[in-house]
Amino acid sequence: MSSIRCGVLSYDNRFIPLTDEFLVQRTEPVEFESFIPKNGPSTGGTSLLVKGRNFLKPLVFNQGLLCQFGTFSVPADVKNNSYLECVTPKFSKAGPTPFTVVLEDSAWYLL
């Protein structure tokens, strides 16, 4: 484990460091075993259940998981450490589509 310095951005764009330290922990990689169903209609709306491991490990900067179908990304609903679910988007044409699960981009949130 290691520590990092964090802060907040004030209304006038000044960085104000926080006095507490935050722990950063290396996590096990997310692993995938299978998904059901293997296909669905191009109109979207199909619930896809993904089986794997390490879905509940801590993520940095409030990142979540996204299911990515080709160039389309949709939120992943993490059910537990071994299952997540996402709903397929609408596609312009039928056919095979690359699928992966990715981390959301990290973002700063104004308080």
pLDDT digit string (tens) for 65-92? 888 898 888 988 888 889 999 999 999 9
Q: Is 61 helix (H, G, I), strand (E, B) or coil?
A: helix
What confidence score (pLDDT) does residue 68 get? 87
- The model carries a pTM of 0.63
Cα torsion through 27, 33, 36, 40, rounded to 10 = 90
What confidence score (pLDDT) does residue 47 get? 96
Q: For the chain, give every domain's residue range.
A: 28-103
pLDDT(30) > 90: no
Phi, psi of 49 (to 5 degrees): -100, 120
Contact 8, 17 (CB under 8 A): no
Regarding the domain with residue range 28-103, which homologous superfamily does it belong to in the CATH classification?
Answer: Immunoglobulins (2.60.40.10)
Phi, psi of 61 (to 5 degrees): 55, 40
Confidence of residue 111 (pLDDT cuts 50, 70, 90): very low
pLDDT tens track for 39-49: 899 999 999 99
